[in-house]
Chain A
Amino acid sequence: MLNMLQRFFLLIVMVCVLAACRRGGEPALVLAVGGAPSELAFWEQVLADFSEQAGIRAELRRQPTDSDQRRQGLLIALKARQQDPDVFLMDVVWLSQFAASNWLYPLDDLAGADFDPSVFFTRVLNLVDRQSGALVALPVYIDGGLLYYRKDLLAEYGFSGPPRTWDELLEQGAKVQAGERSRNPGFWGFVWQGAQYEGLICNFLEFAASGGGGIYRDGGFILSSPANERALSLMRSLIHEKRISPPSTYTQMKEEDVRTTFQSGNALFERNWPYAWPLHQQDGSPVAGKTGIAALPHFPDGQPVSTLGGWHIGVSRYSDMPQQAWELVKYLTSHRVQKRMALELGWNPGRSDLYRDPQVLEEMPHFAELRSIFSYAEARPMLPYYSQISAIVQRHLNAALATRSRPEQALRAAQAEIERVTARYRIESEKSDHEFHERHEFFGEKN
C-alpha cells in the first residue's frame, strides 16, 4: 500500500521537475498583445523581424481580445513585480492607472536625443501619454468615433450632405427610414453602441460633449448637468420616441452588431470606429462605394466630438532589460512598422506623418478625413480609478436607455454613486504621507 502511494507522489514530483526543465534558457524580451489570429500573426512577424535586425531575442505573449481579460493578465504580472512582460499594449483608459501604480518606465529616461515625439499626434500625447509631465507611453494605434453615412440614400431623398447637427440627423434619419421601410422592414435611421459596456461611455461622451456636457472636468465630476440631460434624452428618444434606432440598441449593440447592421444595408447612419471602413468597402459588401464618413453631429451650441480610443505601448517598470525594451518600442512605433500596420491590418497609426504618406493615402483614402476627425478627439476621464467610474456610469446610462429610470434621475444617481464609491480612492487626507507624495500628483487635475 505504501509502495503505491509513494509511487503516486513520485509521479507528481517527476511531472513538476520535468515541467520545470522545459523552461529556462536565455532571457528574452516579452511583448504582451492581444487580438484576433491575424493580428497576432502580424505581431509575431514584426517581432521576428525585430529580433533579426536588433539581435535581441523577443517573444510574444498572446492575450485574448477582451480588454478586461487583457488588463487582468497585465495586472497580475505587474502586481507580482514580474520581469515579463517587458513591453505591452494598453488601452488608452488604463494609462492613468498604470502610471499611478508606478508600473510604467518613464520613456524620457530611456530615449536618446534622436527621439522626436512630434511625429505623433501632439493632442493625443498631451491628453493621455504624458502623466504628470512624464512621457510614459506612445500611441501605437489610435481610434476615434465617426459618422458613417449612405451617400446614395441621402442623395436619393434629396439631402445635400451628411448631418451637421443632431436635429439634422433626426430629420434625415426619420425621412429615409420611413421611405425605406416599404422595401426593407428591418431598416433603421441610425445605429450606435448602447449596450452596457465601455462603448456606451464613448457614445455618450460624443453626444454630451458635442453640446457642452461631459463626465469630468477641472477636477470634478459634472455628470448631473442640463447639457448631459439633453444628450441622454436625445439618445433615449432615438430608440423610444423617434424610433430611428432599434430597441436592441441598449441590449446588444456593440461595435460589431452596429457594423453588420449598417453593412448589410439596414441603416442610414452608423456611429463606429475607423476599423469599419475597410470592412464596409471590401468586395461583396452591399454598401461598398456607397459609404461616406464625416465627423459626428453636434448640438447647435457645440462642436463635433470624437471619443479617443486606441492602444498605447509602454515599458514595464519591472522589466529586466528596459533599454532593449525601448528599442522594441521605437521599432514598433517606427514609420516602417506603423505603415505596415496601416496597410496590413487597416489600423490607424499613432504617428500623424503617415496620414500624409502618398502610398497610405492611395490605399486608404479615408485617412485624409480621419486626420481632421482625430483633432476633435476627447479623452475619457484620465483617472486611476476610471474603471469604477465607467462601470457606474454605464449602468446608469443603460438603465436610462432601457427606460428603467429617467435621464435626469439616472445622471443624478450616477453622480452621487461616483462621489460615494470613489471617495476611498481620493487621498487628500494623506498629503502628509511623504513616501506617497509623488503619486498623489496623479489625482485631481489632469493636463
Chain B
Amino acid sequence: MSELWQKRLLTGLGVAVMLLFCLLPFGYMVLTSFAQQPDYLGQASFQFTLENYRAILTAESLHFLEYLRNSLIVSGVSATLAVLVASLAAYAMTRLPLPGKGLILFGVLAVSMFPPVSIVSYLFQVMNTFGLINTWPALIFPYIAWVLPLSLWILVSYFAQIPRDLDRAALIDGCSRWQILTRVVLPVAAPGIFSTLLLAFIFAFNEFMFALMLTTDYQARTIPVGIALFQGLHGQIPWGRIMAASVFTSLPVIALTLMFQRRIIQGLTRGAVKG
C-alpha cells in the first residue's frame, strides 16, 4: 500500500472516530431537545415537539434570552480585554528587557491554579464594596483575570516564534514599540490571536462559580447558572428545555468558529510575513 493510501486510510478512520466522539452526545442532546419525554430510548416512544424551543424563547419566567445576552456580552468583553492585556504582556516578555520574565509567567499561571470556590467570597466583598454585584463588570473583571493566564501562555509561545528581524526592521523605520505590536506583531500573529480569543471566550462562557455568586438575577446572570435555575425544588430536571437551551446556546459559538476559520486563513495568506 502506498504512503498516500496509508495516510488517507488513517485520516478517514480518524475523521470517523472524531466525528462520532464529538457529535454523538451532541446529536443525542439535539434529539432530546425535540422530544416530549427524555425516556424515549427506554419503553416510551419518541414524540416530536417544538415545545421546548418555544418555551425557552418565549416563556418570560425562564429569562433564557437575557441569560444568553449577558453571557455573550460578559464573555465577549472579557475575552477581548484579556487578549489585549495578554498581547501587551506577551510582547514585553518576548521582545523587551524585563527582569524576572520567567517568574512572572510562572507566577501568573501558579495563582490561577487556585480553586475558584476559595476566592469567590473575597470577590463578593470587593464587588459589593463597589456596588457591582449583579452587574456585568462584576463578572468581566474576574473573568479577565480568569482567562489571562491561558491567553498569556499561548501568546508567549506564539510571539516567541515570530522572527525578531521584523521588529528590528520596524525600529529602524522609526516605529514605537506600540506601533510594532499593533502594526507588525499582531497582524502576523493573527491566527494565534484569534484562536486565543476564541478559547478565552469559551473559557469565560463556561464559568459557573463566579457567575453564581456575583450575580443575583437575570440582569447579569449568565447561561450556565441560568440553565441551572431550570431545575425544580425536588430536582425535577426539564431535560427537553435544558437540551434545547444548550443547543441554542452553542449557535453563537458555531458562528464564531466559522468566523475564526476565515481569519486563520486570512492570517496565513498575508504573504509579506512568511519568512
Contact = CB atoms under 8 A, between A and B. Distances in A.
A touching B, CB within 8 angstroms: yes
B243 interface: no
Nearest to A141: B233
B216 A80 contact: no
Contacts of A19: 131-132, 135-138
B137 A37 contact: no
Interface stretch (A56-64, A97-105, A386-394): A56-64
A139 to B, nearest CB: 15
Contact of A23 (B131, B178, B228): B131
A52 to B, nearest CB: 20
Contacts of A41: 61
A37 B237 CA distance: 12
A423 interface: no
A16 interface: yes
Contacts of B231: 36, 64-66
Interface stretch (A237-245, A253-261, A321-329): A253-261
Given A16-B137, A76-B120, A80-B124, A69 B59 contact: no
A367 interface: no
A39 B233 contact: yes
A80 B128 contact: yes
A145 to B, nearest CB: 12
A77 B131 contact: no
B225 interface: yes
Contacts of B120: 76
Contacts of A60: 217
Nearest to B62: A37
Contacts of A8: 84
14 contacts: A16-B137, A20-B132, A22-B135, A37-B59, A40-B61, A61-B216, A66-B228, A76-B213, A80-B121, A82-B128, A255-B234, A259-B234, A264-B39, A275-B234
A4 interface: yes
Given A19-B132, A23-B131, A36-B236, A264 B43 contact: yes
A255 B236 CA distance: 8
A383 B202 CA distance: 42
Interface in B77-93: 81, 84
A256 B237 contact: yes
Interface residues of B, number: 44
A4 B178 contact: yes
Contacts of B138: 19
B4 to A, nearest CB: 49
A1 B128 CA distance: 34
Contacts of B136: 19
Contact of A256 (B81, B212, B213, B236): B236
A39 B61 CA distance: 10
Interface in B126-153: 128, 130-132, 135-138, 140
CB-based closest 9 A-B pairs: A1-B178, A36-B232, A37-B61, A65-B231, A23-B131, A19-B137, A255-B234, A19-B135, A41-B61
B101 interface: no
A182 interface: no
B216 A36 contact: no
A37 B62 CA distance: 6
A79 B122 CA distance: 11
Interface in B163-222: 176-179, 212-213, 216-218, 221
B44 interface: yes
A88 interface: no
A66 B135 CA distance: 23
Nearest to A345: B233
B45 interface: no
Contacts of B212: 64, 69, 72-73
Given A20-B132, A36-B229, 17 more contacts: A1-B177, A19-B137, A22-B135, A35-B233, A36-B236, A62-B218, A64-B212, A65-B233, A69-B228, A76-B121, A76-B124, A76-B213, A79-B121, A82-B128, A255-B235, A256-B235, A260-B39
B248 interface: no
A254 B235 contact: yes
B230 interface: yes
Given A65-B233, A66-B228, A15 B217 contact: no
Interface hub of B120, B178, B221 (most chain A Cβ within 10 A)? B178
B42 interface: yes
Interface in A146-192: 186
B266 interface: no
B125 interface: yes
B90 to A, nearest CB: 16
Contacts of B228: 64-66, 69
Contact of B124 (A34, A39, A77, A259): A77
A20 B128 contact: no
Contacts of A66: 228, 231
A112 interface: no
B175 to A, nearest CB: 10
A434 to B, nearest CB: 29
Contacts of B61: 37-38, 40-41
A38 B238 CA distance: 12
B178 A36 contact: no
